[in-house]
Structure formats: C-alpha cells, structure tokens
Structure 1
C-alpha cells in the first residue's frame, strides 16, 4: 500500500472527521483505528464505533491499497508535521506489516492491524430520502441537541427525534413543490425541550416517518456543516445517513417510542413577558453565583415592566437584582416562579434573537420560550415546584 499527499490541510481534516467517530476505549481494538482505502487518486478515510461510521474522501498524488492506522496517534502525527510550500507526506506498508510515514526529514513507523478486520461499509436502502441546506440542518441540530441528556436510562432520549411528513405548521405555508416535506427535530431530557420546524426538498419514498438519531452522530455532523450546499439525508429500516459533499455519516437509529411531548405543551397562557435576552442572561449568571448546586434555583418575581431575581443558599449567602423596561416588557398582574438556572441558561444559550418571549400558564406549568419573530422554534423549561 502506498499513498502520497501534498495538501496537509485536506489530510488533517479527513483524519479529524474519521477520528470523531472512533472509540478511544473499546473491547474491539480494530475500532480504535482509522481505515485508509486508496484507489487511483482518491483516498477514503473511515472511522466507526459500534453504532455509527463515517467516511471522508480526498485527493492524493498517487494511491493504491488499504491499511488501518491507530486513530489518535495518526491524527496527532499529521497535525504536527511541518507545513511548507513543498509539503509532501508518503504512507507505505512494509513487509513487516508496519506503516512507514515519511515527510521531509521526519519518519514514523506505526503498527497496523489487518484492514480485513475493519467493519464493512454497507449501503443503506432508504425508505425516505430528502435534501436540506447545510445552514438549516445545522440550526435544527443546534436548537435541539442541547436538550439531549448525556446519560439516561431511557435510551430513546439519548438522541434527537426527526419526523418527516406533510403536516406543515399553520405558521408556514406548504411549499408549491410536490416533493417538499415538513421536517421537525425535537429533543428533551425531561427538564428542557427544544424543537425546530424546517422544509426539506426532493423527498422520495413514503410520506411520513419518525426516527431517533444518536447524539454523538448529530454532534459530528454538526461540525462539518460549514458550507452553503445541500445535505442528502436518507432514513432506512434501521439506519440513517447524511451525505455532505465528500463526507458520509451512517448511524443506527435508536429504538423505542419517543415521548409525545405535545401533551405537555400548554395551549393557553396567563402571562406573556418580553425580555432582552442578553440582560436576562447576565442577571441569571449573577444570581447563579450563590445558587445551591443540587437545585440551582433562582426565583423570578414579575411585576408590570419589572423583574426581581432572588437566589440564596445557607452556605454561600444571597443575591437580589432587578431588570426594568426596556429590558423587560410585561403588563399583567404580579406573579413569581422558580427555575433551575442551569436548565434555563442552556436553553437561552441556543436562542439567537435579541428579544425573547416567555409564556407562562401558571407557576407550576411548563414554561415556553420563543425567539422573537421565529415561529419555527420552541423551547420548554420545567419550573421548580414552590
């Protein structure tokens, strides 16, 4: 096997994309490796774990054969290679089964494993496929991934729920194209929730489907969404793929029935408040300094065009601060509620507009947050029972 590269940037990018999926600790040593497969002047870098895989194609000066290399040392090696106008790196598999990596005066010799032991890449036959812009897909992931828990006994919550159908929201007119489809991505950890609606194009296959996509895969997909082009998405019987230019991600879906979050969304509200997001966030961070770690409770006392924030703990002390118009706009009767500031802040951090609205049915009901003039997104935070 022999491969020659003359573009360090492309080489490093491909290795980092593949390494993003690789398991660092695994009972299957082959899964801690990257597969490099070369043919002609095209080289594919592939990484995988037990549930997902990715491949990234780049060009090489000359290429043939395939090898595996230990992922982390290989990425570090490429990162540290000196870059200059005459950059060139050569990979060659010697007769001892060792990969020789040569660049200028630098020479590495890496142990390898048989590429035949690397999991085979199998194509997915989609039940539904569609296209979406990179920009919109990145927003879908950003607006939901924050609500996915890192750990939860309910495995179905460890990902975002993507639905594809023709149920276009009332706030968005159905597109004229017959192949367009309504997309919604949602995620919840039981304390927070986020969802976003979007439009897909070029839909093929069945009219409606729902699938839970693992958090790790979505996080890696999000990292490569840096352009203006289209992403091809396919949903099969048990797998999902994302094709972004010369990169393709493939993952198992998470089995189980995603909770019907619509049941907990209040339909009418007693209180509606408009807030300056930056001022509101800063006030919460000030209060958080003295919150108790287990509940992280901050009390919000609303009056017409005024908000008083309070926090206190026995060990640390207390805080009291106020916001006034125009940082808050509210015309209703006084009320108060308490919220875990950790859950609230991670929600506010993904909201992009300067002004946000807070919708409250009662101090004990779920609280809805909306971005100003963005009816395609919705966020929910559970209050602390007082």
Structure 2
C-alpha cells in the first residue's frame, strides 16, 4: 500500500480519531488507527469497542491496501511534519514508512485483520439539523469534567437527547448533569424541523465520553445527521461517521431539579463577572473550592477565604429585587456555564443559600444552567 495526502487533510482526520483510539481497552490493537487506501480515497477507522469513527479523505493512491498505525504516535508525527504532501507506504512485517523529501519515520503497526469491525446498522432513519447549532448545544451541556471512571449511573455518564414540541413545532432538547449542576438547551427552528428519529423512543442517552468527538465532527457549518436504531446511535456529517452504543437506562425527571419559583434575580455584565470569578479561583484549592456570594439589593460581593493560601474579595454594583443573603458556590461551575454563552448581560435567578441558582441570557434563548450551592 502507498498513498500521498495533504498534511492538513491527514491531520484533520487523525485529530478526530485521537480521543477514541487513545482510550484503554482489553485489546491493544484499538490503540491503532486502521487506514485503508482505495481508488482516490483513504478511510480512517478507530474504535474503543463501544464508540467507532470512520472518515473518508481524498488522497493520491499509488497502491491499494490496509494498515494499522498507533494513533497517538501517528498524530504526533503528522502534527510536526512540514506543510505539504505526506507519503505513507507499508513495508515488510507490519512496518509503515511515513516520509517526504528528507523527513522519514518508520513505525511498527499490527495486523489489520485483527482490527475490530464497526457495527453495521442498515436502514437507519436519520434526521438533520444545523451542525453549528448542534455544536453550540454540545458546548453548553459539556459537564463531564471530574467524573469518576467508575460511575455507572446513566444520567451522570450520559447526555440526554429528547424530542420536544413547542408552539406546534418539532424540536430537540439536550440535557446534561453531574449531580451538582444541570445544563439544558432547546433547538426549535422557526420553520420547524423533521421530528427526531429515535427509533420510537421519546429520548436517548449518548455517552458523555464521545461528545468531544461529536463536537469535532459537527464544527464548520453544513448539516449533521443523527439516527438511532436499537442500542446504537449514528452521527454523520459529509464523509465522517461516528457510531456507538447508547447508554442503557432511564434518564430521571430533570424538571424536578429546576426551580420554578425563583422570582428574585439580578442582572450582571458577563465579562466583569467572569473576570472576578477567575481571580477568585486563583485562591481555591482541592480542599477549599467555594467562593462566597454576599448579595444585597445594591451590590454583589464575591470573596474567597482559603486558610492554606489566602483570601480575596471584590464587589460589583447590581440591582437585586430580593432580600440580603450569603451563599457559597463552586466558581468553576459558573465559568463553565458562562463561557459558552453569547449574552453580554446575564440574568442570575437566585433566592437564598439553600436553593440552586439559574443562569440565563437574552442572546442564549432556550438555554439555562442550574447550579447547586455549597455548604457555607
């Protein structure tokens, strides 16, 4: 086998398989990327036995064939290669040569016949939505940080996709939680959309660990297609496909954790608020994670007191329509919610130290983030 391919195209494909090929499994070959060359295309495949990726990319194929290469090393090699075309060919005994002009690498692969096959899902019904919108939904519900690898509860290891109907228009809802916070975003286009195809189910749970790969595939405009059949889901965009197992189990009623009686709120400029939270975070640590919000009708005071590191406090003027109180929150949760928001002004719905707060913004319609307070 031998082919030549643009570095930029090659690196784009390898980047998208990195997260999958890099996961540990009981089969060493899953750390490799399967590359097949045929016609004027190469096909790259990666799998961790639960999630699979397949992408087709244009190349000049001089000799057809199939190889497997360690995914991480291939990424590191191609990333540092000079710009231009890269040549790849197989050698004897599973070795692979990657070269161009005076740059040359030889790395050992494995028998491509041992590479696991991706599931075949025939006749799956797909529905389309704008890929930029889908990517925005993923970014706003990305709450996977800090999750234990031993966690098995469906609502903590998965992101819930649900069919919704608002104002007689079909839409899609995405919900994610880690037990301390919840993010929810709806997509209901003005002209309506094709009803989400979930194989007869109202909603499905996608594994959180694959959302980064789905985000990479979804970026760049155009449409993305989604489908579900039995225990599998498929995400397609142009020549790239992600296929994997759905998370089994029931997603709990997330509405129970969204307060519907919060009539008190204040509005605050996003960027100064983000800057304060970042500065307060400097003095947070594993043992002392909380910052304290002291709220009264005219001002918000944010402070941190860490006996191991020090203390700090800052104030911002606000107009709060409730009574004075103090509450403690994890600043990272606020930053994670605020960073993907487009709104310049943020509405903070909050009552007291015992109730969660809700973040919303006028330029982020149909999105909300619920954050639980910490013990004072």
Shared fold per TM-score greater than 0.5: yes
Describe the SS at the equivalent of 1:304. Answer: coil
Alignment of 1:124 with 2:118, yes or no, is no
CA distances 1:83-112 after superposition (whole Å, capped 9, x unpaired): 35xx35141344x33333342234433322
The residue correspondences of 1:265-284 to structure 2 (distance < 5 A) are: 265-284=258-277
Describe the SS at the equivalent of 2:20. Answer: coil
Equivalent in the alignment of 1:344 = 334
Task: Give the drift of 1:228.
Answer: 1.6
Alignment of 1:202 with 2:169, yes or no, is no
Task: Give the drift of 1:126.
Answer: 6.7
The residue correspondences of 1:174-323 to structure 2 (distance < 5 A) are: 174-175=168-169, 181-199=170-188, 201-203=193-195, 204=197, 206=199, 208-291=201-284, 293-323=286-316
Equivalent in the alignment of 1:371 = 361
**TM-score, normalised relative to structure 2:** 0.89
The residue correspondences of 1:59-70 to structure 2 (distance < 5 A) are: 59-62=58-61, 63-70=63-70
Q: 1:119 to 1:190 in 2, by over 3 A?
A: same
Task: Give the drift of 1:127.
Answer: 6.4
Q: 1:127 to 1:73 in 2, by over 3 A?
A: closer
Distance in 1 between residues matched to 2:307 and 2:117, nearest whole Å:
58
Describe the SS at the equivalent of 1:20. Answer: helix
Report the aligned-residue RMSD.
2.4
Q: 1:294 to 1:168 in 2, by over 3 A?
A: farther
Question: Is the 2:342–2:363 contact (alpha carbons within 8 Å) kept by the matching residues of 1?
Answer: no
Q: 1:38 to 1:274 in 2, by over 3 A?
A: same
Q: 1:246 to 1:308 in 2, by over 3 A?
A: same
Question: Is the 2:128–2:225 contact (alpha carbons within 8 Å) kept by the matching residues of 1?
Answer: yes
Question: Is the 1:90–1:102 contact (alpha carbons within 8 Å) kept by the matching residues of 2?
Answer: yes
Equivalent in the alignment of 1:334 = 324
Task: Give the drift of 1:13.
Answer: 1.7
Q: Please, which runs of 5 or more residues in structure 2 have no aligned partner?
A: none
Question: Is the 1:43–1:60 contact (alpha carbons within 8 Å) kept by the matching residues of 2?
Answer: yes
Q: Please, which runs of 5 or more residues in structure 1 have no aligned partner?
A: 176-180
**TM-score, normalised relative to structure 1:** 0.87
Question: Is the 1:126–1:237 contact (alpha carbons within 8 Å) kept by the matching residues of 2?
Answer: no
Describe the SS at the equivalent of 1:380. Answer: strand
Equivalent in the alignment of 1:100 = 97
